[in-house]
């Protein structure tokens, strides 16, 4: 397949520059999207091994996921604005090299505390990297030639999501959990070389007004979520009535109240008033948050049960869950056709019901369930999530208020990062504080935990019912530089913000 080369990008401010190399820019964008997709998907498979090796508690292990996701969720919108101001190539270069350096640090970390701290650092650089990968394509390719590069990037995310668990299982089995972070280092260096060799002039960036980017809202969001996650993850140890649990929930609510006040008075809120008034957009984000909570919480639970209760090796457990990823990829184009034929409301309700059914089906499995039946449950879950993601993406792109498509895209990414944070925290609070040798406790906890997560996903039915019900286009494809082109959703297991 040959990617069409666009006309040369005009040099900035009249100075002679070397010609832009669009294919190298495309390679950097695709590799940047894939490194994030691979990193998270391999981590799920590696977490039980990490817990055993570092003698960590389950609450600590869940922070190895949520610390990263919290950092990404709180900084994505700011990162997009930084890219507009300083250039997306520069942010992609900085993000990829920082991501690789943090990965190397995690690979040699002596304790779980270091892993958690470095995962948060990795999330900061991941937040810089993620919005830069599609923006770089819009910067280099003209609108009439953008379709194929965007499709290649989206397909690469799907391939990474599918290959990640298998690669993770193989690496953990052969070399240990640290190897899943080592593989990021050469890829990050390669992305940096692509960025430097692509020769994208800084002057081609779409310049934002010269004012200081506002980060207060994102930091308050991160603080509120961190307090909430910590309280939820410790419920299994302390109980709901314990003063530590109650205190954590109250502190989270207090910080959330400060966030609301800050957003109302701020000059540059995370959720602009025009966006907040759009029912299709806000309903889509709420639907994504609840379904992502259910799916990623279920994946966290099932990974531990497969390895601790059923005694499967990391690679074998990844194979059990592979139908979920496969149906996400295969189901996305089918969901797109359903969206055009049935409208957003019907498609979203159907997808949400499939997510709930898939999690509920997993709740009914045990050590006697065969791989075919369990794989079918994962497949239903994956098909449902693909349908929800495609519907939400189409609605967000088509119904974003004029001039706010970039902001809405960042908020959608934020929502699908917050969802896994909450789902994994709930799952960690429901699972036993037991080791791999207590298979009966793990198997007994699986059903109740997954039923709670199914109920969480079912909450998405409420916002799904608020979506437009008519059979219509969700809106014309955006043409300006801020809006870009909508991408087909190839859901990514562990970096939902990449979708």
DSSP 306-350: IIIIS---HHHHHHHHHHHHHHHHHHHHHHHHHHHHH-HHHHHHH
Per-residue pLDDT tens digits for 162-171: 788 888 889 9
d(CA 491, CA 162): 10
pLDDT digits (tens, 9 = 90+) for 110-140: 999 999 999 999 999 998 888 787 777 777 8
Cα(63)–Cα(119) distance, rounded to whole angstroms? Answer: 9
Report the distance separating Cα 342 and Cα 125, nearest Å.
40
Pair 228, 422: CB distance under 8 Å: yes
In terms of Cα–Cα distance, which of 289, 275, 491 is closest to 390? 491
pTM value is: 0.77
**Termini Cα distance of the chain:** 23
Report which DSSP code applies to 37: H
Cα separation, 161 vs 415, whole angstroms? 19
pLDDT band, residue 436 (cuts 50/70/90): low
More confidently predicted of 399 and 195: 195
Q: Which residue has the tokens 């394509």?
A: 137
> Residue with structure tokens 């259910």?
294
Show Cβ contacts of residue 300 under 8 Å, excluding neighbours closer than 6 positions. Answer: 44, 47, 62, 65, 423, 424, 427, 428
Please give the backbone phi and psi of residue 401, each rounded to the nearest 5 degrees, phi first: -60, 145
Residue 78 is predicted with a pLDDT of: 79
In this predicted structure, which of 237-251, 316-330, 406-420, 481-495 has the lowest mean pLDDT?
481-495
Return the CATH class of domain 272-499. Answer: mainly alpha
Distance CA 77, CA 131 (A): 9
128 against 433, higher pLDDT: 128
- CA angle at 125 for the pair 123 and 127, rounded to the nearest 5°: 70
What is the residue whose two structure tokens read 């008075």?
A: 265
Query: How high is the pLDDT of residue 239?
Result: 72
CA dihedral 474, 475, 480, 483 (to 10 degrees): -20
- The C-alpha atoms of residue 201 and residue 213 are separated, in whole angstroms, by 22
pLDDT tens-digit readout, 447-469: 888 999 999 999 999 999 999 87
Residue 395 backbone dihedrals phi, psi, to 5 degrees: -70, -45
C-alpha angle 166/451/324, rounded to 5°? 25
Is the model's pLDDT at 297 over the cut of 60?
Answer: yes
Q: Was domain 17-202 assigned CATH 3.30.460.80?
A: no
Long-range pairs, 437-445, Cβ under 8 A, ≥24? 438/308, 439/308, 439/309, 439/310, 439/311, 439/367, 440/309, 442/304, 442/305, 442/308, 442/309, 443/305, 443/309, 443/366, 443/367
- Measured CA angle at 188 (ends 490, 60), to 5 deg: 75
DSSP calls for 239-305:
-TTSHHHHHHHHHHHHHHHHHHHHHHH-SS-SS-HHHHT-HHHHHHHHHHHHHHHHHHHHHHHHHHI
Statement: residue 322 has pLDDT above 80: yes
The answer to whether 141 touches 86, Cβ cutoff 8 Å, is no
Most confident range (mean pLDDT) of 19-23, 70-74, 451-455 is 451-455
Asked if the model's pLDDT at residue 207 lies above 60, the reply is no
The rounded distance, in Å, linking the Cα atoms of 223 and 255 is: 7
What is the chain's mean pLDDT, rounded?
Answer: 80
């Amino acid at each position: 397949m040959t990617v069409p080369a666009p006309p040369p990008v005009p040099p900035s401010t009249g100075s002679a520059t070397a010609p832009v190399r669009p294919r190298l820019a495309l390679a950097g964008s695709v590799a940047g999207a894939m490194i994030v997709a691979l990193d998270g998907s391999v981590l799920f498979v590696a977490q039980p091994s990490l817990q055993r090796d570092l003698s960590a508690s389950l609450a600590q292990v869940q922070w190895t996921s949520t610390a990263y996701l919290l950092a990404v969720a709180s900084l994505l919108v700011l990162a997009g604005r930084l890219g507009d101001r300083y250039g997306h190539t520069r942010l992609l270069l900085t993000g990829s090299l920082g991501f690789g350096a943090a990965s190397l640090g995690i690979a040699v970390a002596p304790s779980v505390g270091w892993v958690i701290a470095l995962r948060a650092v990795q999330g900061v650089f991941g937040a810089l990297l993620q919005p830069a990968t599609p923006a770089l394509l819009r910067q280099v390719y003209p609108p009439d030639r953008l379709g194929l590069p965007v499709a290649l990037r989206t397909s690469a995310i799907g391939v990474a999501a599918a290959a990640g668990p298998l690669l993770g299982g193989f690496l953990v089995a052969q070399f240990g959990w640290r190897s899943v972070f080592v593989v990021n280092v050469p890829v990050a260096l390669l992305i940096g070389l692509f960025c430097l060799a692509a020769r994208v002039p800084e002057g081609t960036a779409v310049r934002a007004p010269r004012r200081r980017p506002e980060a207060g809202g994102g930091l308050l969001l991160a603080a509120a979520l961190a307090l909430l996650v910590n309280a939820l993850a410790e419920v299994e140890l302390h109980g709901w009535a314990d003063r530590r649990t109650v205190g954590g929930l109250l502190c989270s609510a207090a910080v959330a109240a400060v966030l609301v006040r800050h957003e109302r008075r701020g000059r540059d809120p995370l959720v602009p008033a025009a966006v907040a008034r759009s029912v299709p957009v806000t309903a889509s984000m709420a639907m994504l948050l609840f379904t992502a909570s259910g799916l990623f919480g279920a994946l966290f639970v099932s990974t531990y049960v497969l390895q601790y209760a059923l005694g499967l090796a990391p690679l074998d457990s990844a194979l059990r869950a592979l139908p979920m990823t496969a149906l996400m990829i295969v189901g996305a184009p089918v969901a797109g056709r359903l969206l055009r034929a049935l409208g957003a409301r019907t498609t979203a309700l159907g997808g949400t019901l499939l997510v709930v059914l898939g999690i509920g089906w997993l709740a009914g499995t045990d050590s006697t369930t065969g791989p075919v039946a369990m794989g079918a449950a994962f497949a239903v879950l994956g098909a449902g999530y693909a349908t929800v993601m495609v519907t939400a993406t189409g609605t967000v792109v088509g119904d974003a208020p004029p001039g706010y498509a970039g902001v809405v895209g960042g908020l959608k990414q934020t929502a699908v990062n917050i969802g896994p944070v909450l789902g994994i925290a709930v799952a960690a609070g429901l699972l036993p504080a037991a080791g791999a040798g207590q298979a009966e406790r793990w198997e007994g906890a699986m059903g109740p935990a997954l039923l709670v997560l199914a109920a969480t996903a079912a909450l998405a039915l409420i916002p799904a019912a608020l979506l437009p019900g008519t059979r219509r286009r969700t809106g014309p494809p955006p043409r300006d530089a801020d809006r870009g082109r909508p991408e087909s959703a190839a859901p990514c297991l562990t970096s939902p913000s990449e979708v």
